[in-house]
Structure 1
Amino acid sequence: MFFYLSQFLSFLAMPLTIALVLIIVGYFWRNRIQGKKIMLTGILTLLFFCNQFIANLAMNFWEPEMKSISDLPNYEMGIVLTGMTNLSKTVYDRTLFNKGADRATHALQLYKMGKIKKLLITGGQGLNPTNPNTEAELIRDFWVMAGVLGEDIIVENQAKNTYQNAIFTKNLLSETGHDSNSNEKFLLITSAFHMHRAKACFDKAEIPTDTFPVDYYGEDIQWSLPELLYPNPNALILWHKLFKEWIGLFTYKVAGYI
Protein backbone atom coordinates (compact mmCIF):
# COMPACT_ATOMS: atom_id res chain seq x y z
CA MET A 1 0.00 0.00 0.00
CA PHE A 2 2.82 2.40 0.90
CA PHE A 3 4.46 1.78 -2.48
CA TYR A 4 1.32 2.75 -4.42
CA LEU A 5 0.59 5.71 -2.15
CA SER A 6 4.06 7.14 -2.62
CA GLN A 7 3.69 6.75 -6.40
CA PHE A 8 0.38 8.67 -6.32
CA LEU A 9 1.81 11.45 -4.16
CA SER A 10 4.74 11.73 -6.54
CA PHE A 11 2.35 12.22 -9.45
CA LEU A 12 0.45 14.99 -7.65
CA ALA A 13 3.63 16.90 -6.80
CA MET A 14 5.29 16.70 -10.20
CA PRO A 15 6.17 20.08 -11.80
CA LEU A 16 4.14 19.34 -14.93
CA THR A 17 1.10 18.37 -12.83
CA ILE A 18 1.38 21.56 -10.76
CA ALA A 19 1.72 23.77 -13.85
CA LEU A 20 -1.22 22.12 -15.64
CA VAL A 21 -3.47 22.38 -12.59
CA LEU A 22 -2.71 26.10 -12.29
CA ILE A 23 -3.37 26.68 -15.99
CA ILE A 24 -6.63 24.71 -15.97
CA VAL A 25 -7.93 26.40 -12.80
CA GLY A 26 -6.97 29.78 -14.18
CA TYR A 27 -8.73 29.03 -17.45
CA PHE A 28 -12.05 28.25 -15.77
CA TRP A 29 -11.69 31.44 -13.68
CA ARG A 30 -10.36 33.49 -16.61
CA ASN A 31 -13.12 36.09 -16.29
CA ARG A 32 -11.82 36.98 -12.83
CA ILE A 33 -8.62 38.87 -12.09
CA GLN A 34 -7.52 36.14 -9.70
CA GLY A 35 -8.09 33.51 -12.38
CA LYS A 36 -5.89 35.33 -14.87
CA LYS A 37 -3.14 35.55 -12.26
CA ILE A 38 -3.39 31.83 -11.55
CA MET A 39 -3.19 31.03 -15.27
CA LEU A 40 -0.18 33.29 -15.72
CA THR A 41 1.48 31.65 -12.73
CA GLY A 42 0.90 28.25 -14.33
CA ILE A 43 2.42 29.37 -17.62
CA LEU A 44 5.47 30.89 -15.91
CA THR A 45 5.85 27.75 -13.81
CA LEU A 46 5.84 25.61 -16.93
CA LEU A 47 8.41 27.85 -18.64
CA PHE A 48 10.66 27.71 -15.57
CA PHE A 49 10.61 23.92 -15.42
CA CYS A 50 11.21 23.71 -19.19
CA ASN A 51 14.47 25.66 -18.91
CA GLN A 52 17.29 23.19 -19.58
CA PHE A 53 20.01 25.34 -18.00
CA ILE A 54 18.20 25.61 -14.65
CA ALA A 55 17.19 21.93 -14.64
CA ASN A 56 20.72 20.81 -15.47
CA LEU A 57 22.13 23.07 -12.76
CA ALA A 58 19.75 21.58 -10.18
CA MET A 59 20.60 18.02 -11.23
CA ASN A 60 24.35 18.69 -11.07
CA PHE A 61 23.91 20.13 -7.59
CA TRP A 62 21.99 17.04 -6.42
CA GLU A 63 24.03 14.25 -7.96
CA PRO A 64 27.20 13.20 -6.07
CA GLU A 65 30.52 13.60 -7.83
CA MET A 66 31.69 10.89 -10.19
CA LYS A 67 34.33 8.55 -8.77
CA SER A 68 37.42 7.44 -10.65
CA ILE A 69 37.61 3.68 -11.14
CA SER A 70 41.38 3.70 -10.77
CA ASP A 71 41.07 5.18 -7.27
CA LEU A 72 38.72 2.46 -6.02
CA PRO A 73 40.05 -0.25 -3.70
CA ASN A 74 39.04 -3.85 -4.32
CA TYR A 75 35.69 -5.01 -2.95
CA GLU A 76 34.32 -8.41 -2.08
CA MET A 77 30.98 -7.58 -3.65
CA GLY A 78 29.18 -4.98 -5.70
CA ILE A 79 25.53 -4.48 -4.77
CA VAL A 80 23.60 -3.31 -7.82
CA LEU A 81 20.07 -1.89 -7.68
CA THR A 82 17.71 -2.53 -10.57
CA GLY A 83 15.61 0.11 -12.33
CA MET A 84 17.31 -0.15 -15.70
CA THR A 85 15.22 -2.51 -17.82
CA ASN A 86 11.98 -2.16 -19.77
CA LEU A 87 9.45 -4.54 -18.23
CA SER A 88 6.57 -3.03 -20.21
CA LYS A 89 7.66 -4.89 -23.33
CA THR A 90 7.58 -8.68 -23.14
CA VAL A 91 10.52 -10.43 -24.77
CA TYR A 92 12.21 -13.69 -23.78
CA ASP A 93 15.48 -13.78 -25.74
CA ARG A 94 17.14 -10.51 -24.66
CA THR A 95 17.30 -7.78 -22.02
CA LEU A 96 15.76 -4.44 -22.96
CA PHE A 97 17.61 -1.63 -21.22
CA ASN A 98 16.38 1.83 -20.27
CA LYS A 99 18.39 4.93 -19.40
CA GLY A 100 19.80 3.33 -16.24
CA ALA A 101 21.81 0.70 -18.14
CA ASP A 102 25.00 2.12 -16.60
CA ARG A 103 24.06 0.30 -13.39
CA ALA A 104 24.60 -3.02 -15.16
CA THR A 105 27.38 -2.09 -17.58
CA HIS A 106 29.56 -0.20 -15.10
CA ALA A 107 29.16 -3.00 -12.55
CA LEU A 108 30.25 -5.41 -15.29
CA GLN A 109 33.26 -3.21 -16.01
CA LEU A 110 34.26 -3.16 -12.35
CA TYR A 111 33.97 -6.94 -12.20
CA LYS A 112 36.08 -7.40 -15.33
CA MET A 113 38.72 -5.04 -13.94
CA GLY A 114 38.89 -7.01 -10.69
CA LYS A 115 37.54 -4.18 -8.55
CA ILE A 116 34.67 -6.37 -7.30
CA LYS A 117 34.79 -10.16 -6.90
CA LYS A 118 31.06 -10.86 -6.87
CA LEU A 119 27.87 -9.14 -8.01
CA LEU A 120 24.60 -9.00 -6.08
CA ILE A 121 21.65 -7.74 -8.09
CA THR A 122 18.49 -6.75 -6.22
CA GLY A 123 15.08 -5.97 -7.67
CA GLY A 124 11.80 -7.62 -8.61
CA GLN A 125 9.11 -6.50 -11.03
CA GLY A 126 8.19 -3.07 -9.67
CA LEU A 127 4.82 -1.44 -10.35
CA ASN A 128 2.34 -3.12 -12.73
CA PRO A 129 4.78 -4.83 -15.12
CA THR A 130 3.54 -6.69 -18.20
CA ASN A 131 6.71 -8.76 -18.46
CA PRO A 132 6.70 -11.87 -16.19
CA ASN A 133 10.47 -11.71 -15.76
CA THR A 134 12.12 -9.94 -12.84
CA GLU A 135 14.74 -7.29 -13.42
CA ALA A 136 17.34 -9.08 -11.32
CA GLU A 137 17.03 -12.25 -13.39
CA LEU A 138 17.26 -10.32 -16.66
CA ILE A 139 20.42 -8.57 -15.53
CA ARG A 140 21.90 -11.86 -14.32
CA ASP A 141 21.32 -13.35 -17.77
CA PHE A 142 22.99 -10.34 -19.39
CA TRP A 143 26.01 -10.60 -17.11
CA VAL A 144 26.44 -14.32 -17.74
CA MET A 145 26.25 -13.71 -21.49
CA ALA A 146 28.91 -11.01 -21.06
CA GLY A 147 31.26 -13.43 -19.32
CA VAL A 148 30.50 -13.19 -15.60
CA LEU A 149 30.70 -16.56 -13.87
CA GLY A 150 27.30 -17.72 -12.65
CA GLU A 151 28.70 -18.53 -9.22
CA ASP A 152 29.83 -14.93 -8.88
CA ILE A 153 26.26 -13.59 -9.14
CA ILE A 154 23.74 -13.48 -6.27
CA VAL A 155 20.15 -12.69 -7.22
CA GLU A 156 17.50 -11.04 -5.04
CA ASN A 157 14.32 -10.87 -7.13
CA GLN A 158 11.55 -9.82 -4.73
CA ALA A 159 12.24 -6.18 -3.82
CA LYS A 160 9.81 -3.59 -5.15
CA ASN A 161 11.42 -0.43 -3.79
CA THR A 162 14.70 0.85 -2.38
CA TYR A 163 13.75 0.04 1.21
CA GLN A 164 13.14 -3.58 0.26
CA ASN A 165 16.36 -3.63 -1.74
CA ALA A 166 18.25 -2.97 1.47
CA ILE A 167 16.24 -5.26 3.77
CA PHE A 168 16.15 -8.22 1.39
CA THR A 169 19.82 -7.78 0.58
CA LYS A 170 20.61 -7.88 4.30
CA ASN A 171 18.80 -11.21 4.62
CA LEU A 172 20.39 -12.63 1.49
CA LEU A 173 23.88 -11.68 2.59
CA SER A 174 23.37 -13.61 5.81
CA GLU A 175 21.91 -16.62 3.98
CA THR A 176 24.84 -16.80 1.55
CA GLY A 177 27.55 -16.45 4.17
CA HIS A 178 28.34 -12.81 3.49
CA ASP A 179 27.54 -11.37 6.89
CA SER A 180 27.22 -7.58 6.64
CA ASN A 181 28.78 -7.33 10.10
CA SER A 182 32.00 -8.97 8.88
CA ASN A 183 35.04 -7.22 7.47
CA GLU A 184 33.88 -7.71 3.89
CA LYS A 185 33.66 -4.58 1.75
CA PHE A 186 30.52 -3.85 -0.26
CA LEU A 187 30.22 -1.33 -3.09
CA LEU A 188 26.74 0.14 -3.65
CA ILE A 189 26.03 0.83 -7.33
CA THR A 190 23.00 2.81 -8.48
CA SER A 191 22.08 5.94 -10.41
CA ALA A 192 23.68 9.15 -9.15
CA PHE A 193 20.33 10.91 -8.60
CA HIS A 194 19.16 7.92 -6.51
CA MET A 195 22.31 7.41 -4.45
CA HIS A 196 21.33 9.57 -1.45
CA ARG A 197 18.20 7.54 -0.74
CA ALA A 198 19.83 4.20 -1.53
CA LYS A 199 22.77 4.85 0.76
CA ALA A 200 20.44 5.97 3.56
CA CYS A 201 18.40 2.75 3.25
CA PHE A 202 21.48 0.51 3.32
CA ASP A 203 22.87 2.44 6.29
CA LYS A 204 19.54 1.92 8.09
CA ALA A 205 19.78 -1.81 7.33
CA GLU A 206 23.29 -1.75 8.81
CA ILE A 207 25.00 -2.85 5.60
CA PRO A 208 28.37 -1.08 5.40
CA THR A 209 28.83 0.23 1.87
CA ASP A 210 30.93 2.58 -0.14
CA THR A 211 29.16 4.24 -3.06
CA PHE A 212 29.77 4.22 -6.78
CA PRO A 213 27.20 6.47 -8.49
CA VAL A 214 26.50 5.85 -12.18
CA ASP A 215 23.89 6.82 -14.79
CA TYR A 216 24.34 10.59 -14.54
CA TYR A 217 21.56 12.86 -15.78
CA GLY A 218 23.45 16.11 -15.18
CA GLU A 219 25.66 17.39 -17.99
CA ASP A 220 28.53 19.84 -18.22
CA ILE A 221 27.31 23.44 -17.91
CA GLN A 222 26.87 25.13 -21.29
CA TRP A 223 26.44 28.88 -21.65
CA SER A 224 24.70 28.66 -25.02
CA LEU A 225 21.56 30.45 -26.21
CA PRO A 226 19.51 27.23 -26.68
CA GLU A 227 20.55 26.02 -23.23
CA LEU A 228 19.68 29.33 -21.55
CA LEU A 229 16.48 30.34 -23.36
CA TYR A 230 14.88 27.57 -25.41
CA PRO A 231 12.16 25.50 -23.71
CA ASN A 232 13.26 21.87 -23.61
CA PRO A 233 11.05 18.88 -22.71
CA ASN A 234 14.15 17.13 -21.35
CA ALA A 235 14.22 19.71 -18.56
CA LEU A 236 10.85 18.44 -17.35
CA ILE A 237 12.29 14.91 -17.22
CA LEU A 238 15.16 16.11 -15.04
CA TRP A 239 12.80 17.89 -12.66
CA HIS A 240 10.53 14.83 -12.61
CA LYS A 241 13.47 12.70 -11.47
CA LEU A 242 14.47 15.21 -8.81
CA PHE A 243 10.97 15.75 -7.40
CA LYS A 244 10.30 12.02 -7.31
CA GLU A 245 13.54 11.45 -5.42
CA TRP A 246 12.92 14.30 -2.96
CA ILE A 247 9.41 13.04 -2.27
CA GLY A 248 10.81 9.54 -1.86
CA LEU A 249 13.31 10.77 0.72
CA PHE A 250 10.57 12.59 2.62
CA THR A 251 8.15 9.64 2.64
CA TYR A 252 10.93 7.20 3.59
CA LYS A 253 11.86 9.46 6.50
CA VAL A 254 8.25 9.64 7.67
CA ALA A 255 7.88 5.85 7.38
CA GLY A 256 11.11 5.26 9.31
CA TYR A 257 12.87 3.59 6.38
CA ILE A 258 15.87 5.90 6.70
Structure 2
Amino acid sequence: MFFLLSKILFYAIMPAVWLLGLLLAAIVVRQPRWQRRLLMACAVLFVLLTNGALINEALLAWELPPVRPAQLPAQSDAGVLLTGITKGSKSPHDRVYLNTGADRLTNALWLYRAGRIRRIIVSGGSGEVGGSKTGRSEAAQLATLLRLAGVPAQDILLEKRSRNTHENALYTKQLLAQHPEIKSLVLVTSAFHQRRALGCFRRVGLHPTPFPAGYYSVNRQLAPVYWLLPDAKALADWSILLHELAGYVVYKVLGYC
Protein backbone atom coordinates (compact mmCIF):
# COMPACT_ATOMS: atom_id res chain seq x y z
CA MET A 1 0.00 0.00 0.00
CA PHE A 2 2.81 2.40 0.92
CA PHE A 3 4.50 1.71 -2.42
CA LEU A 4 1.32 2.52 -4.37
CA LEU A 5 0.59 5.65 -2.32
CA SER A 6 4.09 6.94 -2.98
CA LYS A 7 3.47 6.67 -6.72
CA ILE A 8 0.17 8.57 -6.41
CA LEU A 9 1.87 11.27 -4.33
CA PHE A 10 4.42 11.77 -7.10
CA TYR A 11 1.72 12.94 -9.49
CA ALA A 12 -0.14 14.98 -6.87
CA ILE A 13 2.83 17.24 -6.21
CA MET A 14 3.81 17.82 -9.84
CA PRO A 15 3.80 21.59 -10.60
CA ALA A 16 2.29 20.88 -14.02
CA VAL A 17 -0.72 19.35 -12.24
CA TRP A 18 -1.08 22.49 -10.12
CA LEU A 19 -1.07 24.69 -13.22
CA LEU A 20 -3.63 22.48 -14.93
CA GLY A 21 -5.81 22.56 -11.81
CA LEU A 22 -5.79 26.36 -11.73
CA LEU A 23 -6.71 26.54 -15.42
CA LEU A 24 -9.54 24.04 -15.01
CA ALA A 25 -10.81 25.93 -11.96
CA ALA A 26 -10.81 29.17 -13.97
CA ILE A 27 -12.94 27.46 -16.62
CA VAL A 28 -15.39 25.93 -14.16
CA VAL A 29 -15.91 28.95 -11.88
CA ARG A 30 -18.61 31.34 -13.06
CA GLN A 31 -17.65 34.54 -11.30
CA PRO A 32 -15.41 36.77 -13.50
CA ARG A 33 -13.57 38.11 -10.46
CA TRP A 34 -12.50 34.61 -9.37
CA GLN A 35 -11.66 33.68 -12.93
CA ARG A 36 -9.23 36.63 -13.12
CA ARG A 37 -7.68 35.69 -9.79
CA LEU A 38 -7.22 32.08 -10.78
CA LEU A 39 -5.68 33.00 -14.13
CA MET A 40 -3.38 35.53 -12.45
CA ALA A 41 -2.30 32.90 -9.91
CA CYS A 42 -1.63 30.47 -12.75
CA ALA A 43 0.43 33.07 -14.64
CA VAL A 44 2.52 34.01 -11.58
CA LEU A 45 3.10 30.37 -10.68
CA PHE A 46 4.11 29.59 -14.26
CA VAL A 47 6.69 32.40 -14.28
CA LEU A 48 8.17 31.24 -10.98
CA LEU A 49 8.22 27.54 -11.87
CA THR A 50 9.90 28.11 -15.23
CA ASN A 51 12.65 30.30 -13.81
CA GLY A 52 15.80 28.19 -14.12
CA ALA A 53 17.70 30.18 -11.50
CA LEU A 54 15.11 29.58 -8.76
CA ILE A 55 15.06 25.81 -9.14
CA ASN A 56 18.84 25.69 -9.50
CA GLU A 57 19.28 27.62 -6.25
CA ALA A 58 16.85 25.24 -4.53
CA LEU A 59 18.78 22.24 -5.87
CA LEU A 60 22.11 23.72 -4.80
CA ALA A 61 20.72 24.07 -1.28
CA TRP A 62 19.36 20.51 -1.14
CA GLU A 63 21.88 18.37 -3.04
CA LEU A 64 24.92 17.25 -1.09
CA PRO A 65 28.13 18.76 -2.49
CA PRO A 66 30.44 16.68 -4.69
CA VAL A 67 33.05 14.47 -3.02
CA ARG A 68 36.45 13.89 -4.60
CA PRO A 69 37.64 10.27 -4.62
CA ALA A 70 40.72 11.43 -2.73
CA GLN A 71 38.44 12.49 0.14
CA LEU A 72 37.21 8.91 0.59
CA PRO A 73 38.96 6.31 2.74
CA ALA A 74 41.96 4.72 1.01
CA GLN A 75 39.88 1.68 0.06
CA SER A 76 36.42 0.66 1.24
CA ASP A 77 35.23 -2.92 1.16
CA ALA A 78 32.28 -2.13 -1.14
CA GLY A 79 30.28 0.58 -2.82
CA VAL A 80 26.48 0.39 -2.67
CA LEU A 81 24.98 1.45 -6.00
CA LEU A 82 21.29 2.30 -5.71
CA THR A 83 19.14 1.66 -8.76
CA GLY A 84 16.18 3.67 -10.05
CA ILE A 85 18.01 4.70 -13.22
CA THR A 86 16.66 2.30 -15.85
CA LYS A 87 13.69 2.58 -18.22
CA GLY A 88 11.79 -0.67 -17.89
CA SER A 89 8.90 0.47 -20.09
CA LYS A 90 11.06 0.82 -23.22
CA SER A 91 11.32 -2.06 -25.66
CA PRO A 92 12.88 -4.16 -27.09
CA HIS A 93 14.06 -5.64 -23.81
CA ASP A 94 17.30 -6.99 -25.24
CA ARG A 95 19.28 -4.09 -23.79
CA VAL A 96 19.44 -1.78 -20.79
CA TYR A 97 18.00 1.72 -21.12
CA LEU A 98 19.34 4.34 -18.71
CA ASN A 99 17.79 7.65 -17.70
CA THR A 100 19.28 10.91 -16.43
CA GLY A 101 20.51 9.25 -13.22
CA ALA A 102 23.08 7.15 -15.09
CA ASP A 103 25.92 8.93 -13.27
CA ARG A 104 25.19 6.61 -10.34
CA LEU A 105 26.48 3.72 -12.45
CA THR A 106 29.44 5.53 -14.00
CA ASN A 107 30.53 6.96 -10.64
CA ALA A 108 30.41 3.54 -8.97
CA LEU A 109 32.47 2.14 -11.83
CA TRP A 110 34.89 5.07 -11.53
CA LEU A 111 35.42 4.39 -7.81
CA TYR A 112 35.98 0.69 -8.52
CA ARG A 113 38.51 1.40 -11.28
CA ALA A 114 40.27 3.96 -9.06
CA GLY A 115 40.66 1.32 -6.36
CA ARG A 116 38.52 3.19 -3.84
CA ILE A 117 36.06 0.30 -3.48
CA ARG A 118 36.82 -3.43 -3.73
CA ARG A 119 33.34 -4.61 -4.71
CA ILE A 120 30.04 -3.17 -5.95
CA ILE A 121 26.71 -3.99 -4.31
CA VAL A 122 23.84 -3.17 -6.67
CA SER A 123 20.62 -2.66 -4.72
CA GLY A 124 17.19 -2.54 -6.35
CA GLY A 125 14.38 -4.76 -7.56
CA SER A 126 11.78 -2.82 -9.53
CA GLY A 127 10.25 0.58 -8.85
CA GLU A 128 7.43 0.00 -11.32
CA VAL A 129 3.84 -0.60 -10.28
CA GLY A 130 3.09 -4.24 -11.10
CA GLY A 131 6.75 -5.24 -11.19
CA SER A 132 9.42 -5.19 -13.85
CA LYS A 133 8.26 -5.39 -17.46
CA THR A 134 11.61 -6.80 -18.52
CA GLY A 135 11.43 -9.81 -16.19
CA ARG A 136 14.74 -8.75 -14.63
CA SER A 137 15.45 -6.66 -11.57
CA GLU A 138 17.17 -3.31 -12.00
CA ALA A 139 20.10 -4.69 -10.05
CA ALA A 140 20.53 -7.50 -12.59
CA GLN A 141 20.33 -5.04 -15.48
CA LEU A 142 23.01 -2.76 -14.05
CA ALA A 143 25.15 -5.78 -13.21
CA THR A 144 25.08 -6.64 -16.92
CA LEU A 145 26.52 -3.24 -17.74
CA LEU A 146 29.17 -3.55 -15.03
CA ARG A 147 30.21 -6.92 -16.43
CA LEU A 148 30.43 -5.42 -19.93
CA ALA A 149 32.65 -2.71 -18.42
CA GLY A 150 35.01 -5.40 -17.19
CA VAL A 151 34.04 -5.77 -13.53
CA PRO A 152 34.54 -9.44 -12.54
CA ALA A 153 31.38 -11.29 -11.47
CA GLN A 154 32.90 -12.10 -8.07
CA ASP A 155 33.17 -8.37 -7.35
CA ILE A 156 29.45 -7.73 -7.91
CA LEU A 157 26.80 -8.50 -5.28
CA LEU A 158 23.09 -8.14 -6.06
CA GLU A 159 20.18 -7.17 -3.83
CA LYS A 160 17.15 -7.71 -6.08
CA ARG A 161 14.08 -7.32 -3.82
CA SER A 162 13.87 -3.67 -2.79
CA ARG A 163 11.30 -1.30 -4.29
CA ASN A 164 12.16 1.90 -2.43
CA THR A 165 14.97 3.53 -0.46
CA HIS A 166 13.87 2.10 2.88
CA GLU A 167 14.01 -1.42 1.45
CA ASN A 168 17.36 -0.67 -0.22
CA ALA A 169 18.85 -0.17 3.23
CA LEU A 170 16.97 -3.00 4.92
CA TYR A 171 17.74 -5.67 2.33
CA THR A 172 21.32 -4.52 1.84
CA LYS A 173 21.90 -5.06 5.54
CA GLN A 174 20.45 -8.56 5.23
CA LEU A 175 22.75 -9.24 2.29
CA LEU A 176 25.76 -8.02 4.25
CA ALA A 177 24.94 -10.49 7.03
CA GLN A 178 26.04 -13.16 4.53
CA HIS A 179 29.31 -11.30 3.87
CA PRO A 180 30.87 -10.44 7.23
CA GLU A 181 34.11 -9.54 5.46
CA ILE A 182 32.44 -6.36 4.15
CA LYS A 183 32.67 -3.74 6.87
CA SER A 184 33.19 -0.37 5.17
CA LEU A 185 30.80 1.04 2.57
CA VAL A 186 30.49 3.94 0.15
CA LEU A 187 26.92 4.90 -0.79
CA VAL A 188 26.52 5.96 -4.43
CA THR A 189 23.22 7.58 -5.39
CA SER A 190 21.98 10.82 -6.94
CA ALA A 191 22.93 13.99 -5.09
CA PHE A 192 19.29 15.00 -4.53
CA HIS A 193 18.54 11.54 -3.10
CA GLN A 194 21.63 11.19 -0.93
CA ARG A 195 20.17 12.74 2.26
CA ARG A 196 17.22 10.34 2.43
CA ALA A 197 19.29 7.32 1.39
CA LEU A 198 21.98 8.06 3.95
CA GLY A 199 19.35 8.44 6.67
CA CYS A 200 17.77 5.09 5.75
CA PHE A 201 21.09 3.25 5.86
CA ARG A 202 22.02 4.80 9.18
CA ARG A 203 18.61 3.89 10.61
CA VAL A 204 19.23 0.18 9.97
CA GLY A 205 22.69 0.37 11.52
CA LEU A 206 24.86 0.87 8.44
CA HIS A 207 27.14 3.89 8.22
CA PRO A 208 28.36 4.32 4.65
CA THR A 209 30.43 7.21 3.37
CA PRO A 210 28.25 9.26 0.97
CA PHE A 211 29.34 9.75 -2.63
CA PRO A 212 26.72 11.91 -4.41
CA ALA A 213 26.35 11.52 -8.18
CA GLY A 214 23.94 12.58 -10.93
CA TYR A 215 23.61 16.28 -10.19
CA TYR A 216 20.61 18.24 -11.44
CA SER A 217 22.11 21.55 -10.28
CA VAL A 218 24.73 23.53 -12.18
CA ASN A 219 27.18 26.16 -10.98
CA ARG A 220 25.63 29.49 -10.03
CA GLN A 221 26.12 32.22 -12.61
CA LEU A 222 26.11 36.03 -12.42
CA ALA A 223 24.91 36.60 -15.99
CA PRO A 224 21.39 38.08 -16.41
CA VAL A 225 20.49 35.14 -18.66
CA TYR A 226 20.82 32.81 -15.68
CA TRP A 227 18.38 34.81 -13.56
CA LEU A 228 15.84 36.04 -16.10
CA LEU A 229 15.32 33.64 -18.99
CA PRO A 230 12.64 30.93 -18.58
CA ASP A 231 13.65 27.29 -18.83
CA ALA A 232 11.21 24.55 -19.82
CA LYS A 233 13.34 22.00 -17.93
CA ALA A 234 12.67 23.86 -14.68
CA LEU A 235 9.18 22.35 -14.35
CA ALA A 236 10.57 18.83 -14.49
CA ASP A 237 13.32 19.68 -12.01
CA TRP A 238 10.76 21.12 -9.56
CA SER A 239 8.81 17.86 -9.81
CA ILE A 240 11.92 15.85 -8.94
CA LEU A 241 12.91 18.08 -6.03
CA LEU A 242 9.41 18.36 -4.55
CA HIS A 243 8.93 14.60 -4.82
CA GLU A 244 12.18 14.04 -2.95
CA LEU A 245 11.34 16.61 -0.26
CA ALA A 246 7.94 14.99 0.26
CA GLY A 247 9.57 11.57 0.41
CA TYR A 248 12.08 12.78 2.96
CA VAL A 249 9.33 14.18 5.21
CA VAL A 250 7.23 11.00 4.94
CA TYR A 251 10.26 8.83 5.71
CA LYS A 252 11.03 10.99 8.76
CA VAL A 253 7.46 10.62 10.03
CA LEU A 254 7.53 6.85 9.50
CA GLY A 255 10.93 6.54 11.16
CA TYR A 256 12.65 5.23 8.05
CA CYS A 257 15.44 7.82 8.13
Range of TM-score over shorter length: over 0.9
| CA RMSD across the alignment | 1.5
Deviations 1:12-45 (A, max 9, x none): 1222212221222123226331231122112211
- Report the equivalent of 2:139: 136
Query: Is the CA contact (8 Å cut-off) linking 2:13 and 2:239 kept in structure 1?
Result: no
- C-alpha distance in 2, partners of 1:36/1:223? 35
- C-alpha distance in 1, partners of 2:113/2:60? 29
Deviates most, 68-77 or 185-194: 68-77
- Report the equivalent of 1:169: 172
- C-alpha distance in 2, partners of 1:235/1:16? 11
- Report the equivalent of 1:115: 116
- C-alpha distance in 2, partners of 1:98/1:220? 22
The one-letter amino acid paired with 2:24 is I
- C-alpha distance in 2, partners of 1:93/1:8? 30
4+ long deviations beyond 6 Å: none
Query: Structure 2 stretches of 5 or more lacking a match?
Result: none
Closer, same or farther in 2 for the Cα pair 1:176/1:250, shift >3 Å? same
Query: Is the CA contact (8 Å cut-off) linking 1:6 and 1:251 kept in structure 2?
Result: no
Query: Is the CA contact (8 Å cut-off) linking 1:90 and 1:130 kept in structure 2?
Result: no
- C-alpha distance in 2, partners of 1:254/1:95? 35
Q: What TM-score, normalized by structure 2, do the two folds share?
A: 0.94
Look up the SS of the partner of 1:114 in the other structure.
coil
Query: Is the CA contact (8 Å cut-off) linking 1:11 and 1:17 kept in structure 2?
Result: yes
Q: Percent identity?
A: 34
- Per-residue deviation, 1:176: 2.8
- Per-residue deviation, 1:178: 4.5
- Report the equivalent of 1:252: 251
Closer, same or farther in 2 for the Cα pair 1:43/1:30, shift >3 Å? farther
- C-alpha distance in 2, partners of 1:186/1:43? 47
Query: Is the CA contact (8 Å cut-off) linking 2:72 and 2:209 kept in structure 1?
Result: no
Look up the SS of the partner of 2:189 in the other structure.
strand
- Report the equivalent of 2:85: 84
Look up the SS of the partner of 2:66 in the other structure.
coil
Deviations 1:128-150 (A, max 9, x none): 34322211001111111111110
Q: What TM-score, normalized by structure 1, do the two folds share?
A: 0.93
- C-alpha distance in 1, partners of 2:133/2:41? 39
Query: Is the CA contact (8 Å cut-off) linking 1:91 and 1:131 kept in structure 2?
Result: no
The one-letter amino acid paired with 1:111 is Y
Look up the SS of the partner of 1:132 in the other structure.
coil
Aligned residues: 254
The one-letter amino acid paired with 1:106 is N
